[in-house]
Chain A
């Protein structure tokens, strides 16, 4: 069992794109797309194991070595700051981490003059680090979803969140005022796995790298 590779993948769009990408380097994991409630899948012939976990749990499974590899958004990695290798940008799932505020506020607002602001976000650590690096005091309100609602009901003046098309922002009367980071999906690797299984893992990394470059 020792040279098996276990990959932690979150459900949803990342899963579909990952299955497609791995398929291109000969790793067949289409079984993951079935409607099963199983959380763990094995492919004995290819000595691969797949775990379906929550996106925010992917780094944890990989950090502790329960999974050798993981596929997860850069936003989650930035928020959790875990000690992991992050050798490959898989390029899909593009979006931006940004600061947004209501259109009315933005009209006369100057971000360089901010000194004490209130931010609602799913990403308290990212928000805090970003504003601290600019010397801005910030009060963070941690939410778990529908972040765009917060400024509309006066919970906070501004939000830090992900935006891809900008449609949700527009429909809720918000505009982006500052961009924090560009987000894509990453391949992450457990430190011990990279050393103890480096041949198989290097093969996977190099295979994916070639596919991504030719795409």
Chain B
């Protein structure tokens, strides 16, 4: 769930806030659960919170932290984030590869974040969370066809803007 919120909002702090709020609401609304599909119900709550967050951002734009600073290698204290070297065994042998990978992540994030809200949510649920389109339709409260349309548009957009690979095309 935190992964989902993180990938939709692109901000760790926001994702954590929404994560907390999601479970608070789940608990609060436990009696309203209809017993059909818990995951869809859970995601619906989280997604609504995410959409509200997007709206807030539209009204009050804020600069999100760089993805690198948000990654596992970042250590944040009092809002100041510092890049911390935590190389894995493989990365130790190829420090250059790690730098290229971090750069790639940043560019992919930029591409995903450039998608409209519903397309982004659809992409994250379908691609990263491996949810069925019908499940996503339940979450978003729309038809499966509409979900597929969101997905198709998202992919068309990403086809253009996604980077080629680590370090870019040679």
Q: Do A and B come from one complex?
A: no
Binding site for A on B (CB under 8 A): none
Binding site for B on A (CB under 8 A): none
